Amino acid sequence: MVFMQKSQDDRKDQISSSVFKKKRWLMFFAACLLIVGVYIFVSRGERQARAAQQGLSAQPAAPVSVATVKKQDFAVYLPGLGAVISLNTVTVKTLVDGEMTHVLFREGQVVSRGEILAEIDPRPFEVQLTQAEGALARDQALLQNGKVDLERYKDLVKKDLIPTQQLDTQQALVHQYEGMVKADQGQIDSAKLQLVYAHITSPISGRIGLRLVDPGNIVHATDANGLAVITQVQPISVIFSLPEDNLPQILGKFRSGVRLTVEAYDRDQKQKLATGTLLTIDNQIDPTTGTVKLKARFPNTNNELFPNQFVNARLIIEVKHNAIIVPASAIQHGPEGTFVYVVKADQTAALRPVTVGVTQEGNTSIMTGLSGGELVVVDGADRLRDGSKVEVEGQNRGTPTPQRQSK
């Protein structure tokens, strides 16, 4: 019985040993298969890479257009719509009534403050002056005689030859004559002032408009239209609006005393008309549009701006010096992010990741990834891969020009 039990145990040990050996051989076989698979995969990848490289080398060079990366100053500005407004506008009117005998200005002429523009017939005022001067001479003589009589009455009162009442009457008469002399002097001054007003002068310096009254007409101080309109054009102002979201940034610069520059462009934003400075900011926001008004002053030395002219205003917030600028068409987008193709000296295109700033008017500022003087592809990038052969066509095509940056 014992012998049979021992035989069964030996048989079990043999079976276990056989299973263990089989498992070990299976594991060894699996490891060999894994090593062979890895070797085949790596070898295949290398062959594919070599094939791809050989394919790129065998492919013909792709024609591309390039631009040179520029390193230049880049101004950050806020754009707004505005209108040219004269700092002062005056309707010239007469202060006296009479016939306008002479017009001494030309329509559209630039006049100076105090320059004579027109004349009104001065003869009625000269007659008034003569009459006032005659009345003054008469009353001065009466006053002189009254003063002499007053001194005489004072001596007689001291000697009790006349009553005191007569002296007081003479004293009042002298005061009356003095009042008449003052009134006459006022009439003379009034007549002289009328003569001054008969010569109509310009109250400000500026450009005079069309003549509204012809010589020979009778003009009155109460006339509504006046003789002409003068607008000050040097200096001149531009009022423009910006979104209220930009107000904190503007106020921060303005309150710190920074002199903010404002540029005025034409309707198409292609030609810069004039350059000025920010003068003031309105005290309230327009709730209907969500904008705030700003006022800039321009010297307008060459009369580039005209009153009521529509302009595109650009408020320059800051100037970034030595910024890297490329055409916006050079910027490419992929799963890994933003990149450009840089043309190397061996006429191959290298994919270069870049950090993009702001794009405006066809140009883009680059924060990192490029250096000044490098060549970037601006046309034909869709046919390229990293390392592709390229044939440069029109190297200067798309070269960025100095631009202003919108923010």
The Cα–Cα gap between 328 and 352 comes to: 15
pLDDT of residue 397 exceeding 50, the answer is no
- Is 86:229 a contact under the CB 8 Å cutoff? no
Task: Tell me what the pLDDT averaged over the chain comes to.
Answer: 85
Identify the three-state secondary structure at position 20. Answer: helix
- Is 242:406 a contact under the CB 8 Å cutoff? no
Residue 235: how many other CB atoms lie within 10 Å: 15
Return the pLDDT at 35: 74
42 residue type, one letter: V
3-state helix, strand, coil in the chain (%, to 5): 35, 35, 30
Q: What confidence category does residue 159 fall into, taking pLDDT thresholds of 50, 70 and 90?
A: confident
Higher pLDDT, 51 or 204: 204
The Cα–Cα gap between 194 and 217 comes to: 18
Please give the full DSSP string across 173-193, using - where no structure is assigned: HHHHHHHHHHHHHHHHHHHHH
- Is 208:105 a contact under the CB 8 Å cutoff? yes
Residue 401: how many other CB atoms lie within 10 Å: 11
CA 84 to chain centre: 12
Residue with tokens 């008017």: 361
Q: What is the pLDDT of residues 317-341, one digit of tens each?
A: 888 888 888 888 889 988 878 999 9
Taking the CA atoms of 182, 185, 190 and 191 in sequence, report the sign of the dihedral they define.
Answer: positive
Q: Which residues, 6 or more positions from 196, have their beta carbon under 8 angstroms from its beta carbon?
A: none
Tokens of 77: 């500005």
Q: Exposure of 67 by Cβ count < 10 A (0-12 exposed, 13-18 middle, 19+ buried)? A: buried
Task: Indicate the fold that domain 62-73+321-406 takes in CATH.
Answer: 2.40.420
- Is 256:246 a contact under the CB 8 Å cutoff? no
Give the global pTM.
Answer: 0.65
Return the pLDDT at 64: 86
Number of H helices, E strands in the chain: 4, 23
Q: What is the 3-state secondary structure (H, E, C) of 93-152?
A: CCCCCEEEEEECCCCCCEECCCCEEEEECCHHHHHHHHHHHHHHHHHHHHHHHHHHHHHH
pLDDT > 90: percent of the chain = 51
Return the pLDDT at 365: 85
Let me know the angle formed at the C-alpha of 263 by 259 and 269, rounded to the nearest 5 degrees.
160
pLDDT of residue 99 exceeding 50, the answer is yes
Higher pLDDT, 28 or 348: 348
